């Protein structure tokens, strides 16, 4: 009886050892990153409905909340709504898409599967709500201190409707490309999204701006990011070299999109308590981005002292000078000279 029990125990031990010698549970280790296997509408589709059903089907199940944060649609249609069915992500938009616009559906790098394997490449697909994809393109590089800026945001706002904004990111060399744009003029902005909130923080993040017009061929625009401006503009000087205009000089480049209302400028003679002299018009000086030209409604008098007060002047960083004043005296014009930035009366 004892020998039987000993033999049976030995068989059980051998069986248990054999069971432990097999392959580890769960199959081979997952080392392949997730990828987008299917997209709808298909890439380069046209005549897509203004309330489309967008879907991204990944090659495997992924971490949902993280993946949703990496999905972007440009131009921005408002809030995106997500629903999942296994590895398939359905996307709907808060607002209807615009007619006759080419959209980019993008998944940024970083999508991670259930085994924590991360995708380091992005996915991009284009479709149009019109009959064909737009043909315009802007490309270039973004640099800072002569080096390419990786991950900088580049935005292009259509001048005919500045609410139509396309955006992209620079690659490791600082290069960017915005394809399939409508023809026309664009305001460009490049900046480092330091806090990753998708918005330009004028007071903390360095940026650079430019304008470009797309007509028949792709446009090339290189942008050099400057150090972030943290202070409002300062009125450095005011002066007039003739009787037609007053030249105001600031310490910062001014906002190129700002329009100057004459009632934001108060011109008096001979000082801040003197008689008011009406201002006819105010324009940016095309020869210097830090200057404004003010045109009084009446001729200025040689040798006369004046006092100018300016309000609500905005620099390129979006910071506003609330109010500043300067005295000045009109200097007699030199013979044969003129005001290059002035106008004819």
pLDDT classification of 15: cutoffs 50, 70, 90: very low
**Among residues 205, 224, 243, which one ends one of the domains?**
224
* Shared domain check, 84 and 42: yes
Q: Which residue has the higher pLDDT, 219 or 215?
A: 219
In a domain, 266, yes or no: yes
Q: What integer is the mean pLDDT of 234-260?
A: 91
Residue 239 has phi, psi (to 5 degrees) of -170, 165
Bridge-partner residues for 305, per DSSP?
329
User: Is the dihedral angle over the CA atoms 229, 231, 236, 238 positive or is it negative?
Assistant: positive
In a domain, 173, yes or no: yes
* Shared domain check, 46 and 115: yes
In a domain, 187, yes or no: yes
- Residue 118 sits in a domain whose CATH number is 2.60.40.1220
Q: What pLDDT was estimated at residue 246?
A: 95
* Shared domain check, 121 and 143: no
* Shared domain check, 277 and 257: yes
Q: How many domains does the chain have?
A: 3
The whole-angstrom separation of Cα 111 and Cα 39 is: 16
- Mean pLDDT is lowest, of 38-42, 69-73, 149-153, for 149-153
* Shared domain check, 152 and 70: no
* Shared domain check, 247 and 205: no
* Shared domain check, 122 and 77: yes
Range of the domain at 84: 36-128
- Residue 180 sits in a domain whose CATH number is 2.60.40.1120
pTM assigned to the model: 0.59
User: DSSP characters for 93-134?
Assistant: ESSPPPTT-EEEEEE-TT-BBTT-PBP-S-EEEEEESSSS--
* Shared domain check, 262 and 296: yes
Q: What is the mean pLDDT of the chain?
A: 85
Number of H helices and E strands in the chain, helices first, is 2, 24
**Among residues 162, 195, 224, which one ends one of the domains?**
224
Q: What pLDDT was estimated at residue 342?
A: 46
* Shared domain check, 141 and 109: no
In a domain, 124, yes or no: yes
Which has the closest alpha carbon to 110: 121, 101, 100?
Answer: 121
Q: Cis link prior to 270 (omega < 30° from 0)? A: yes
In a domain, 26, yes or no: no
89 neighbors 9 (Cβ within 8 angstroms): no
3-state class (DSSP) for residue 7? helix
Q: What integer is the mean pLDDT of 325-333?
A: 87
């Amino acid at each position: 009886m004892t020998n039987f029990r000993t033999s049976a125990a030995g068989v059980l031990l051998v069986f248990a050892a054999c069971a432990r010698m097999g392959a580890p549970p769960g199959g081979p280790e997952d080392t392949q990153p997730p990828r987008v296997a299917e997209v709808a509408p298909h890439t380069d589709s046209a005549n897509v409905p203004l309330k489309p059903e967008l879907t991204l089907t990944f090659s495997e199940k992924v971490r949902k909340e993280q993946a949703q944060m990496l999905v972007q649609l440009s131009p921005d249609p408002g809030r995106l709504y997500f629903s999942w069915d296994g590895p398939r992500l359905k996307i709907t938009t808060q607002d209807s898409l615009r007619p006759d616009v080419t959209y980019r559906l993008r998944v940024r790098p970083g999508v991670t599967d259930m085994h924590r394997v991360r995708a380091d490449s992005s996915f991009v697909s284009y479709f149009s709500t019109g009959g064909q994809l737009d043909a315009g393109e802007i490309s270039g590089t973004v640099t800072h201190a002569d080096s390419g800026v990786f991950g900088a945001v580049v935005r292009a706002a259509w001048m005919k409707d500045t609410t139509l904004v396309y955006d992209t990111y620079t690659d490791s060399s600082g290069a960017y490309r915005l394809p399939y744009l409508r023809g026309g003029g664009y305001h460009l902005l490049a900046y480092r999204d330091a806090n990753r909130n998708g918005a330009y923080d004028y007071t903390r993040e360095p940026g650079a701006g430019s304008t470009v017009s797309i007509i028949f061929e792709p446009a090339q625009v290189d942008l050099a990011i400057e150090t972030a401006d943290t202070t409002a503009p300062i009125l450095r000087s005011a002066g007039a070299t003739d009787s037609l205009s007053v030249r105001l000089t600031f310490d910062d480049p001014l906002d190129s999109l700002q329009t100057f209302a004459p009632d934001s400028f108060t011109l008096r003679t001979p000082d801040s308590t003197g008689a008011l002299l009406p201002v006819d018009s105010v324009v940016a000086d095309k020869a210097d981005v830090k200057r404004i030209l003010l045109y009084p409604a009446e001729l200025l008098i040689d040798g006369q002292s004046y006092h100018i007060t300016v309000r609500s002047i905005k620099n390129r960083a979006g910071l506003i000078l609330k109010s500043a004043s300067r005295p000045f005296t009109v200097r007699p014009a030199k013979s044969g000279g003129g005001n290059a930035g002035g106008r004819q009366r």
